[in-house]
Amino acid sequence: MLPPHFSTTILLLLISLFFFTLNEATKPLNLTLLPHQHPSPDSVSLHVLRSVNASLSRRQLSSSSSTCRTGNPIDDCWKCDSTDWSSNRQRLADCSIGFGRGTLGGKNGKIYVVTDSSDNNPANPSPGTLRYGVIQEEPLWIVFSTNMYIKLKQELIINSYKTLDGRGSAVHITGNGCLTIQYVQHIIIHNIHIYDCKPSGGAIIAASPTKTGKRGRSDGDGISIFGSSRIWIDHCTMSHCTDGLIDAVMGSTAITISNNYFSHHDEVMLLGHDDSYAQDDGMQVTIAFNHFGQGLVQRMPRCRRGYIHVVNNDFTSWKMYAIGGSGNPTINSQGNRYSAPSDPSAKEVTKRVDTRDDGEWSNWNWRSEGDLMENGAFFVSSGEGMSSMYSKASSMGPKAASSVDQLTQNAGVFGGPRDDEGQSGDSYSPYEGGSDGGGSIGGTGDMGGGTTRGSSSSSGDGNFFDMVFGSNAPPRLRLTLLFTLLMICVLSLSSTLLLW
């Protein structure tokens, strides 16, 4: 028979274990540990405004004959501060603004030249292909030897510290899966056409030179960002994908989406996995100088949780709404131009998704400052309005209508046709390949050349992948503490038995 004090010890340990485990399970996530999450998002937004104002001021002071300076702080950074951008391509990495500022991509790495546009073996890609370059472990600055039409057989898994630099060539990426950025960091995608992306899955795909695995089903996003940070998507032209053009979910943060041209698509951009996914509170995204063009319906973006800065974009039209959200995201809209459609029921820029009345969202911090509303557009604000930081820096207010044309004039791929030029409705003529237009990687001329809904990223666990790639995956739920407490119980039991 065991002594009374032994039974009491075991009982107390089990009770302590139960309450400790319950406390850990209900404890809120420490979101300050989300990689690259900025502790003061308003200060990042203010820095963007200062960058725009400074660049516009430099343009006004420059010679009237100068065609270099546009007032766009990103473009002026790499195009005007160097006499020949093609001889110093990696200067681009110094030019991001907003939450993605500091994204390195393949800076200080080797130049990798894509010479082969095929994608015949996703499990064992050949040297010279794009897939071979993006899976390497080392930093690489990836460029293209000539104009290319790359039709992917499966999604393209991109490893950390990579830049896809399409300047100087007309680079078109389409096919199955398109670009996947999963559990990695420091990725730059610049000057690429991305369109007609379809779902994929069930295939063996290489994620590094030594790691391959079978993938689950992808949604058919143009660019899928999953649990990643330090991402910069700049000067891309995107349209006609099965799901989203750009989706960023599962604790992704430190993202800038700038100077892109979006057209002919339903659900354009999703930021946040699910209303209940608390880690997306740390998502921080800058959306700047983009042109949202013809044939768009909604989600420009659609936000869940997080802090989203939408600044100096041109919203040509929409069919349902421009900016939507749920789960109490902070949406900071500054200096944008919103042109509402003719439909009288679709004049509102904003949409609180799946909410019953203002009692549910009245405290959500959605603010509009310096925005231009055209054709009856209106923005429904809520929450705190401008922060004290902005009220104390009125001289740094956002440049609005007078500058939107100027700041977005080169949105999309440089030199490439926009999908709504010379076309109407939802028509679209995909690139057919060939060697016309654009230049070689050494050229200094013009840079560039032109839905049904799949499963949504919001639908539970339907699009979790079967295999996790990358070396920076966030830790999964672990039972380390539980195991430690069980060991304490075992040691206590052993000690009690010895004493008995």
Structure token digits, residue 254: 């430190």
Q: Return d(Cα 27, Cα 18) in angstroms, integer.
A: 14
Considering only CA atoms, which of 74, 47, 99, 59 is closest in space to residue 402?
59
End-to-end CA separation in angstroms for the chain: 11
Q: Return d(Cα 112, Cα 390) in angstroms, integer.
A: 44
Considering only CA atoms, which of 145, 220, 196 is closest in space to residue 450?
196
Given the residues 217, 299, 302, 304, select the one marked as catalytic: 299
What letter represents residue 436's amino acid? D
> Residue 285: beta bridge partners?
255, 308
Q: Return d(Cα 419, Cα 398) in angstroms, integer.
A: 29
Q: Is the dihedral of CA 327, 328, 332, 336 positive or negative?
A: positive
On whether the CB atoms of residues 379 and 333 are closer than 8 A, the answer is yes
- What lies within 8 Å, CB to CB, of 23 at 6+ separation is none
Considering only CA atoms, which of 110, 236, 260 is closest in space to residue 173?
236
Query: How much is the CA Rg of the chain, to the nearest whole Å?
Result: 25
Please indicate whether residue 131 is annotated as part of the active site: no
Per DSSP, helices labelled H in 157-241 are none
Q: Return d(Cα 40, Cα 35) in angstroms, integer.
A: 14
Considering only CA atoms, which of 333, 335, 370, 369 is closest in space to residue 350?
333
Interstrand relation of 193-198 and 237-239 (parallel, antiparallel or unpaired): parallel
* Residues acting as catalytic residues: 299
